[in-house]
Amino acid sequence: MSGTSGVVVCRFRLAELMVTALRAFADIKKYARYLRFIVGFAEAALEIRKATTSDEIARAVAMDEAHLGSNKRADYIKARAENGGLRVAVLRDEVLAFCCLDNGYFFEKPFISLLIVSVDARRRGLGAGLLSHVSSASTEVWTSTNRSNAAMRKLLDKAGWRYCGELRGLDEGDPERFYKTA
Ligand SMILES: CC(C)(COP(=O)(O)OP(=O)(O)OC[C@H]1O[C@@H](n2cnc3c(N)ncnc32)[C@H](O)[C@@H]1OP(=O)(O)O)[C@@H](O)C(=O)NCCC(=O)NCCS
């Protein structure tokens, strides 16, 4: 091979490498567009709103029962639903999370008394979505959780809620921590 043809081969290889790199970049862009489409589709399919049907209320009651191991809060959840205080996160007709907003529970301040996300739907932003939905509709919302509930405490911290103090004596050895929207 002569010196000139060596340079040509080198240039050709370089050009080939550049084309491969550009193709890879185009693929990344193509997949990024695809991923954005999937995320957009999931977001569009997710609704956070008041519970409207008896099926949705029953699903919230069942989720609470699975979490608590008892149905002792069933009447409370149904009463909240009747007062318009039951909020659900619904993905393609399936209730995956709910919260109860209660205005007569805590010094007549809007108070989230229960927030439960179905076990297999956790860490997908539904808890944060429900908090944001409720807090965007009022200037001040309160909630509380046990000190031992690291997941809820981290959720509240990340969502920017303000820690206001804790109350001892409700659950022995596990104080109740109170938070409000900042
Ligand atoms: C607490 C609970 C509501 C969180 O709901 P969730 O939908 O999983 O939370 P999100 O996906 O919105 O999480 C938002 C952020 O909160 C924090 N967080 C949530 N769960 C966490 C966990 N188990 N460990 C650490 N951080 C956690 C993270 O910072 C998370 O952001 P990231 O996923 O980007 O790291 C859910 O775990 C649950 O239903 N627990 C049982 C019921 C309960 O304890 N309710 C609260 C008192 S009534």
Nearest-atom index, ligand 1, CA of 131: 12
Nearest to 115 by CA among 82, 80, 140, 160: 80
Half-sphere exposure of 151 (CA within 13 A, CB side): 11
pTM, two decimal places? 0.82
149 close to ligand 1 (CB < 6 Angstrom): yes
Probe target for ligand 1 pocket from 111, 134, 154, with the most ligand atoms within 8 Å of CB: 154
Ligand 1 atom 12: the closest Cα is on which residue?
A: 125
How far is ligand 1, taken at its centre, from the CA of residue 29, in Å? 31
Q: Which CATH class for the 51-180 domain?
A: alpha beta
Cross-strand partners of 115? 99
* pLDDT one digit per residue (tens) for the chain, 182 residues: 444 445 544 555 666 777 777 777 777 766 776 666 566 656 668 999 999 899 999 999 999 999 999 999 999 999 999 999 999 999 989 999 999 999 988 999 999 999 999 999 999 999 999 999 999 999 999 999 999 999 999 999 999 999 999 999 999 999 999 999 98
Cβ proximity of 155 and 129 under 8 Å: no
Q: Tokens representing 111? A: 């108070």
Domain map of the chain by residue range?
Answer: 1-46, 51-180
151 close to ligand 1 (CB < 6 Angstrom): yes
Residue 12 is predicted with a pLDDT of: 56
